[in-house]
């Protein structure tokens, strides 16, 4: 809506006062914003049309206007630990880090009151919703792709607030003590099963070698005698020496 009669009258009077006190009034009507900042000007509580002011000099009426500076640099928000439930019914606690920047300063000031609280709650609810369709093993192995999926989902919502989400990362994953104990028992059982399989494979290979050796020795009686003498020679290295003499030798 347009300005009312009283608002126009106050605006004209303020301009006349600035002109009459020129050039002293210039020092109160000109402000500077840095390259990474933007200024949002409100006149009598109304947002002035057009884009945000800056960078550089901008003009405002000190009697009627108020301005707010918005920092456009990249910001970091740490999301505290919150509880999620995975697809395979694992209850986890995870924390995350969100990197965002302000794109539309005018829209941001007229939409949100607390940026950090809004983004924190949005990250937590989005993470819970997305991880409900993921298994625990996927969370551990595909953390990068899950973080990118969370970033895309956040950006679709925060764009209406004038905020651009640059990156989202899942930082730590904590399991309850009972879940850690059960996973440790499962991992130990898998290691024991693997050891038994390796031992069985070794026994199988040894039995195959012994069978082949027995076939070779049975085909040459002199070879059995030589093997027996070699065994006696190796036993003489022991202190005290031990001898095994089978009778008969054949």
| CA–CA separation, 36 and 22 (whole Å) | 30
34, pLDDT greater than 70 = yes
More confident residue, 166 or 228: 166
Strand pairing of 163-174 and 91-102?
A: antiparallel
Q: 40's torsion region: left (phi>0), alpha (psi -120 to 50) or beta?
A: beta
Beta bridge mates, 67: 41
| Domain segments of the chain as ranges | 5-71, 74-174
CA distances from 202 to 107, 123, 147, 188 (A): 71, 53, 45, 21
2, pLDDT greater than 70 = no
| CATH architecture of the domain covering 74-174 | 2-Layer Sandwich (3.30)
248, pLDDT greater than 70 = no
In this structure, are residues 38 and 69 in contact, taking their beta carbons and an 8 Å threshold?
yes
242, pLDDT greater than 70 = no
| pLDDT at res. 138 | 83
Using a cut of 0.95, tell me whether the model's pTM lies above it. Answer: no
**Coil, helix or strand at residue 65:** strand
| pLDDT at res. 192 | 82
| pLDDT at res. 230 | 73
């Amino acid at each position: 809506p347009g300005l009312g009669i009283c608002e126009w009258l106050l605006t004209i009077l303020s301009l006349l006062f600035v002109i009459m006190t020129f050039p002293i009034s210039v020092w109160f009507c000109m402000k500077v914003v840095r390259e990474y900042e933007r200024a949002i000007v409100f006149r009598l509580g109304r947002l002035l049309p057009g884009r945000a002011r800056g960078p550089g000099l901008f003009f405002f009426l000190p009697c009627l206007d108020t301005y707010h500076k918005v920092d456009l640099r990249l910001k970091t928000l740490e999301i505290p630990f919150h509880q999620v439930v995975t697809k395979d019914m694992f209850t986890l606690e995870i924390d995350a880090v969100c990197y965002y920047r302000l794109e539309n300063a005018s829209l941001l000031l007229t939409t949100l009151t607390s940026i950090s609280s809004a983004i924190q709650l949005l990250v937590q609810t989005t993470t819970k919703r997305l991880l409900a369709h993921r298994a625990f093993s996927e969370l551990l192995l595909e953390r990068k792709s899950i973080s990118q999926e969370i970033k895309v989902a956040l950006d679709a919502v925060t764009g209406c607030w004038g905020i651009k989400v640059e990156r989202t990362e899942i930082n730590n994953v904590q399991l309850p003590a009972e879940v850690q104990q059960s996973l440790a028992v499962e991992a130990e059982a898998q290691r024991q099963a693997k050891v038994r399989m390796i031992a069985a494979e070794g026994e199988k290979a040894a039995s195959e070698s012994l069978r082949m050796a027995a076939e070779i020795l049975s085909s040459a009686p002199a070879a059995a005698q030589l093997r027996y003498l070699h065994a006696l020679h190796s036993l003489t290295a022991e202190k005290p020496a031990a001898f095994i003499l089978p009778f008969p030798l054949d």
